[in-house]
Amino acid sequence: MDLTLILEWIGNGIYAAMAAVAIYGVFTAILIARRITQKRFRSHAGAEEFLDEVRDNLDKQQYEGVADLCDTPAYWAKAVPQLLLVAVANRNRPVAKIRKLMGEHFDREILADLDYRMSWINTVVKTAPMLGLLGTVTGMIAAFGKIAGASKTGADPSALAGDISFALFTTAMGLMIAIPLVMLGAWLQVRVGKLQDEVQQYLGVFLEDLENAVMKAGRR
């Protein structure tokens, strides 16, 4: 089979692969951003309103009420209510043990999922420049092949320019895909960090309320 035809097929495959990689990277980033938004409260006021309702139920020793509140459509996808369900299910254990169980659940069920999806963005960031480099190598092979094949009659400058242009363009495309995704990945990491800070803050408030409710029940 003609080498030129093979290289042309490879070139078309590289374009298709880079398009697929770019689309998947953007899709994954959007999915992660939506997932983080679902896990966080819309505002601090909304979180305070939720914690006030939880506190009212704890004061009345209505632990099932806390569980029912966490299972409502407004809260069931958010991280803090999910962790509160773990606490309610283990309410008879010491507070330190409850804190540990909630931390393990948060790491295993929420952060692990986000980290897994973030790893795919990192894979795209690494793959796109490599595909661009493959296109560069392919274009240069085609260019030098035409130079070698036209040693007697002379190489067509326009044909060589096309191969060299392909070589440089694929490299540029790889960087154009990787650089925005690097910045997007950093932004997502910041949002994950804010989610962690938010969870720690609100769980601290809840555990204090839980401890007070347990102590109050013990004095009755």
| DSSP result, 49-104 | HHHHHHHHHHHTT-HHHHHHHHTSTTTTTSHHHHHHHHHHHTTTS-HHHHHHHHHH
Q: Does some domain include residue 104? A: no
pLDDT digits (tens, 9 = 90+) for 40-90: 999 999 999 999 999 999 988 898 999 999 999 999 999 999 999 999 889
Rounded CA gap, 118 and 200, in Å?
22
What's the confidence (pLDDT) of residue 152?
A: 53
Q: Is 4 or 34 the better-scoring residue by pLDDT?
A: 34
Q: Does some domain include residue 33? A: yes
**With bands split at pLDDT 50, 70 and 90, how would you rate the model's confidence at 213?**
confident
Q: Does some domain include residue 206? A: yes
Task: Match 């995704």 to its residue by tokens.
Answer: 181
Say if residue 91's pLDDT is above 60.
yes
Q: Does some domain include residue 111? A: no
Q: Does some domain include residue 204? A: yes
Helix (H, G, I), strand (E, B), or coil: what is residue 1?
coil
Q: Does some domain include residue 193? A: yes
Q: Does some domain include residue 137? A: yes
Q: What percent of the chain has pLDDT over 90?
A: 61
DSSP 8-state assignment for residue 150 = T
Q: Does some domain include residue 96? A: no
State how many domains the chain has. 1
pLDDT digits (tens, 9 = 90+) for 144-195: 777 766 655 555 666 667 667 777 888 899 999 999 999 999 999 999 999 9
Give me the count of residues in the chain.
220
Structural domain including 29 reads 3-62+117-219
What's the confidence (pLDDT) of residue 158?
A: 66
Say if residue 215's pLDDT is above 60.
yes
Say if residue 220's pLDDT is above 70.
no
Tell me the backbone φ, ψ of residue 2, rounded to 5 degrees: -65, 130
